[in-house]
A = this chain, B = another copy of it.
Amino acid sequence: MSPSAPSPQQPPSRRIAEELRKRIERGELAAGDKLPSERALAEEYGAARNTAREAVRILAEQGLVTAKHGKGVFVRQPQRLFRFGSDRYSIKNRETGLTPFRLEAKRQGKTARIDVLSITREVPPADIAERLQVSADDASVVHRENHYFADDEPVQIVSTYIRWGEAQGTLLMQPKSGPNGIYGRLEELGHVMTRVRDEISARMPTPHEAALLDLLPGVPVLEVLHTSLDQNGEPFEVTRYVHRADQTGLLYELPVEQPTPPEAQ
């Protein structure tokens, strides 16, 4: 009928995937519903099971459905997103004692847990060394790795890097880094956080990340490379956040620089 319909010459697996997608979009299959089994789909469309299976794979890749071994394939539930953002570094949060993560978890009625995985002296990755302005050839940094959970589900991986010369022998080497956390210690070392720079990208997870974050196929990660600048514009701390994108979003609210009004004065 329609002149430029892409359907007629499409292979069966894609055709099945599109029909299922339409059923989902029309609401015939709602979030949480179970799709017909692969064997049922195969029979329904007169195809081999592998062909029906390929159709399901296409939908999973798009993040629309999730297969559960032994149970079936289900339409994915849109998750309410955690919102991390520009206020993540705000002084106010330090004063309340509640970190932004705990605040957001509380707002969603979930329990927050933060595991300190490791605190080690290391050779920094190249991108970190560049931003922290340290050598990438020797063990010039301390790496603190933390994992964040909401209701015991992993939400983000956080890797913080600080210069070894400054962290050495301080609470920055300890899991409990004291009042106001590491930023409190860094302030005592003369670094007042004045500006932040967040570089944001998205990509598919590595197998390692997929395992740590318990990620289903078709779920990307959001990566934030954060640099803290002090009162002299010097970087003194760099953190890499890796968020699971199906449960996490970022929020940046910021003022726009105004031009000097031409008719003022």
A residues at B contact (CB < 8 Å):
18, 21, 61-63, 81, 83, 86, 89-92, 95, 192-207, 217-222, 245-246, 248-259
Which residue of B21, B91, B197 contacts A252 across the interface (Cβ within 8 Å)? B197
Give min CB distance, A80 to chain B, whole Å.
12
The secondary structure that dominates the A interface is mixed
* CB-based contact B220/A203 at 8 Å: yes
* CB-based contact A86/B200 at 8 Å: no
Give min CB distance, A31 to chain B, whole Å.
15
Considering the complex, give the chain B residue whose CB is closest to the CB of A250. B200
* CB-based contact A245/B257 at 8 Å: no
CA distance A255 to B255 in the complex (A): 9
* CB-based contact B194/A251 at 8 Å: no
* CB-based contact B195/A253 at 8 Å: yes
What copy number does this chain have within its complex?
A: 2
* CB-based contact B61/A204 at 8 Å: yes
Given A194-B258, A254-B86, A254-B195: A201 in contact with B63 (beta carbons within 8 A): no
CA distance A83 to B256 in the complex (A): 18
CA distance A256 to B195 in the complex (A): 5
* CB-based contact A258/B81 at 8 Å: no
Report 25 cross-chain contacts, Cβ distance below 8 Å, ordered by A residue.
Answer: A61-B217, A62-B207, A81-B201, A89-B256, A91-B256, A193-B256, A194-B255, A195-B256, A196-B254, A198-B251, A199-B249, A199-B251, A200-B200, A200-B249, A200-B250, A201-B245, A201-B248, A202-B220, A202-B221, A202-B222, A202-B245, A203-B245, A203-B246, A204-B218, A252-B252
Given A62-B207, A91-B259: A201 in contact with B252 (beta carbons within 8 A): no
CA distance A255 to B257 in the complex (A): 12
Considering the complex, give the chain B residue whose CB is closest to the CB of A244. B202
Considering the complex, give the chain B residue whose CB is closest to the CB of A21. B207
Taking CB atoms, residues of chain B closer than 8 Å to A249 are: 199-201
